[in-house]
Amino acid sequence: MKERSIPRIILSNISGLIFFLILIALANYALNYFSHPTFVEVVNFLNSNLALIITISILGLFSDLFWAFIFPFNIIAPILSAFLSYYILSFVYTILELVQQARDFVFPISFNTLYPFVFAIVIIIGYIIIFSRLGRKLIRKEDNEEKPEKKKRSQKEAKVELIKWEKVGNEFRLLFLNIAKSLNNLFAKKKKRK
């Protein structure tokens, strides 16, 4: 996962919020010219939930900031992400209420049971992510410390192995030489007897 810098996180979150607020302002201005009931209802919905949307944006900003920090400063990030998930779930619930009113649609799951479940899942997964990142960094650090020692050790082992195989090679040469001499002597004695 690519690490994002803190100024970039702040800039992207704040610019996204400003862009969204500009769109809402333009939509409110467009109400003077368009009077379609669905458009009016959506704009009124966004206006009535503006505080919730801004809260989600601010919590998202702080959550992203704490995720960018290193351990132990990022330990609060899963808690902020859990609260963020709570507010996002609340916003989704208000959207579903709007759809229920418009289309006579009933959502089968109660959100009161989803809130604590999602909150707990986000916290657990968040801490798993933090500790897995910490573990990977520790493993990388240990590997970087062991690499020079491994190189020296492997070079020494390679020299030892070369020496050993050279000796073994010489031993085989001497063995074949002795066998050849013995065979030569054996055949030489038989030739002399005849």
Of the given ranges (5-9, 65-69, 137-141, 156-160), which has the lowest mean pLDDT?
Answer: 156-160
- Three-state secondary structure readout of 120-143: HHHHHHHHHHHHHHHHHHHHHHHH
**34-53: pLDDT as tens digits:** 888 888 888 899 999 999 99
Q: What residue segments make up the domains of the chain, in order of their start?
A: 6-148
Contact 56, 84 (CB under 8 A): yes
Distance from C-alpha of 78 to C-alpha of 61, rounded to nearest angstrom:
13
Q: Model confidence at 160, in pLDDT bands (50, 70, 90)?
A: low
- Chain segment 74-133, per-residue pLDDT in tens: 889 899 999 999 999 999 888 888 887 777 777 677 777 888 888 999 999 988 888 888
Q: What is the mean pLDDT of residues 149-175?
A: 60
Instruction: Provide the 8-state DSSP code for 69.
Output: S
- For the chain, report the end-to-end CA distance as a whole number of angstroms: 87
Tell me if residue 21 falls in helix, strand or coil: helix
Q: Please, which residues have CB within 8 angstroms of residue 83's CB and are 6 or more apart in sequence?
A: 59, 119
pLDDT at 83: 92
Rounded CA-CA distance 161/155 in Å is 10
